[in-house]
Amino acid sequence: MTSGQENIELEFCDMKFNTPLVLLSGCVGFGEEYTRIKGFSNRDVGAICLKGTTLDERLGNAPHRLAETYMGMLNSIGLQNPGAKVVVDDYLPKLDFEETRFIANISGSTVEEYEDVARIFDDSAIDAMEINISCPNVKEGGVTFGNDPDMSARVVEACRRATDKPLITKLSPNQTDIAENARRCLEAGSDAFAVINTLMGMSVNIETRQPVIGNNQGGLSGPAIKPVALLKVHQVYQECKAHGIPIIGQGGIVNAEDALEFIIAGASAVGIGTALFYEPLICKEINAGISNYLRRHKIDNVAELVGCLQLHDTNSG
């Protein structure tokens, strides 16, 4: 363990995280791809979220699937994956569970599919499951699970029936009241939250007069969404703090200052995603920055910072 890293260890849903950093789903494949990068160590991160996984194999959306935007990135991969059983049988055995925690990201087009996928991962070495409730429910005409608190709760309940492993519900920002959705998911059995998933966006090629993304729209990530993500973390934290429910804050984090903002707003851990595409070893830099901040402010452990945001009194004057 490097000097100073001991003060950024934490407990998250009874899992020991080496650092507050979580590599986000979709950015590091199924875990083993990222270990090929020279200089990367699994010990630099608290957990790695595997790519979104469905019950059966999916080929994903038509290209283009990625588009760079100002201070961000649009993506519409379409959950390309080999299916849950293949991930459990062929991918998980290649991962070193001694170095860091691994979290499955589970998706489905029906409530039943979510439950089936959760049951498959329950019978595996995976440490926890992240529920991607941003998928459209085909039985309800394509209404997205994550934008309807009733549907969100139904998915969490189904996954809870299938496993005793920690469940982390990934909340969508594309809804009216994210705090209410969090409350319903808590009641349904969620152990933690990932806040936020991507915002929906579009990019247009003015020469062809068509969307750049083959699926017409995609999820926007990167620094452009950071202010939105910070507010959503703060709002969800208001529902979580009395219950001791932890949050993975995510959305545009590219340096230690960003990470600290999310922790102060209420996140116990922070997710790193789009930043990995231009600086694969950015986690070392962020860890060092967090440790330096704690030393400068004479704070013993990063957990002491969680939710310490001091709001202005907006009722005075």
Domain boundaries, the chain: 5-305
Confidence at residue 317, expressed as pLDDT on a 0 to 100 scale? 58
Confidence at residue 5, expressed as pLDDT on a 0 to 100 scale? 74
Given 49, 135, 159, 283, which residue is catalytic?
Answer: 135
Confidence at residue 2, expressed as pLDDT on a 0 to 100 scale? 46
Confidence at residue 181, expressed as pLDDT on a 0 to 100 scale? 96
Confidence at residue 160, expressed as pLDDT on a 0 to 100 scale? 98
> Is there a catalytic annotation at residue 308?
no
Residues 184 and 180: their CA atoms lie apart, in Å, by 6
Confidence at residue 109, expressed as pLDDT on a 0 to 100 scale? 92
Tokens standing for residue 188: 């349904």
Residues 44 and 248: their CA atoms lie apart, in Å, by 16
Residues of the chain with pLDDT under 70: 1-4, 6, 136-138, 140-143, 316-317
Topology, domain 5-305? TIM Barrel (3.20.20)
Confidence at residue 1, expressed as pLDDT on a 0 to 100 scale? 43
User: What predicted TM-score, i.e. pTM, was given to this entire model?
Assistant: 0.95
CA atoms within 13 A on the CB side of 37: 17
Confidence at residue 36, expressed as pLDDT on a 0 to 100 scale? 80
Confidence at residue 142, expressed as pLDDT on a 0 to 100 scale? 57
Residues 145 and 27: their CA atoms lie apart, in Å, by 22
